[in-house]
Amino acid sequence: MAHQTIHLTLKVWRQPRADAPGRFEVYDAKAIDVDMSFLEMLDVVNEGLIKENKEPIAFDHDCREGICGMCGAVINGIPHGPLKSTTVCQLHMRHFKSGDTITIEPWRAGAFPVVKDLVVDRSAFDRIISKGGYISVKTGSAPEANAIPIPKKDADLAMDAAACIGCGACVAACPNASAMLFVGAKVSQFALLPQGQVERKTRVKNMVARMDSEGFGNCSNELECEAACPKDISVSNIARMNREF
């Protein structure tokens, strides 16, 4: 049986580098299989551009399984697209209709400068993590799992916070380009556990200071970050970060 295909019009942001002006370019995406992922659709469009000796669209990707946090684009004004709890690589073309016009932009934040087209530099997140997103442990063999009793409630909350993949959708969704959901999650996952107590008092101060110096905005409780997060990170982590601070 032939696969169902759709025909789309893409309005894609093209920008050769951070200090160059950008623009939208329009492309026809014909015969797109509805079982393709969004990134596979872009692959098909890029194959057509390469055949025409045109510059392919640059976009971030790696695992294509919603795990690594590499992929990211604003699709029709929504980070990661219209499907809740979904990364761009997990978004499939069956959620669009033939004849749709799809606008695709990079993350929109001063702290995430454009590298090229849809690719942005998210190394600001790495610099925040380097200021406190770790724990002091003795090296050697793995400790016995039951050596440090941890209440299940705390373990569950820490695991929920650790689910953050650092994709940056929270920043792109926030009208202030705030990174507080990301930082709150990274602070929470360690603050809740005994292993994270050594750096507890310095961690939050150092990470927040770095967040501010990177140029991210402040939280004004818009809750757009939680709505856009592909891993459903709760804004309660921002509240916990504020208490820690």
- As for how many domains the chain has, the answer is 2
**107, 128: one domain:** no
* Domain final residue pick, 115, 145, 177: 115
Of 115, 147, 181, the position where a domain reaches its end is 115
Structural domain containing residue 190: 123-244
Q: Do residue 173 and residue 135 come from a single domain?
A: yes
Residue written as token pair 């190394």 = 123
DSSP letter (8 states) at residue 60: -
All residue ranges of the chain with pLDDT < 50 are none
Shared domain check, 238 and 134? yes
Q: Give pLDDT tens digits for 82-97.
A: 999 999 999 999 999 9
Q: Can you give the pLDDT at residue 45?
A: 98
Q: Phi first, then psi: give them for residue 157, nearest 5 degrees.
A: -65, -40
The dihedrals phi and psi of 50, each to the nearest 5 degrees, come to -65, -40
- Check whether residue 64 and residue 143 sit in a common domain: no
Query: Which alpha helices (H) appear in the chain, and where do they start and end?
Result: 38-51, 123-130, 152-162, 169-173, 180-191, 200-213, 224-228, 236-244
Query: Are 191 and 107 in a shared domain?
Result: no
In a shared domain, residues 149 and 63: no
Judge if 80 and 141 occupy the same domain: no
For position 46, which CATH number holds?
Answer: 3.10.20.30
84 shares its domain with 172: no
pTM of the predicted model as reported, rounded to 2 decimal places: 0.93
Supply the CATH number for residue 180's domain: 1.10.1060.10
Do 174 and 108 share a structural domain?
Answer: no
Distance between first and last Cα of the chain: 59
**Final residue of a domain: which of 59, 84, 115?**
115
Distances (CA, A) of 36 to 51, 99, 204: 21, 17, 41
Same domain, 181 and 83: no
Q: What is the pLDDT of residue 29?
A: 97
| One domain, residues 38 and 95 | yes
Q: Are residues 90 and 159 in the same domain?
A: no
* CA torsion through residues 46, 77, 34, 26, sign: negative
The per-residue pLDDT for 2 is 59
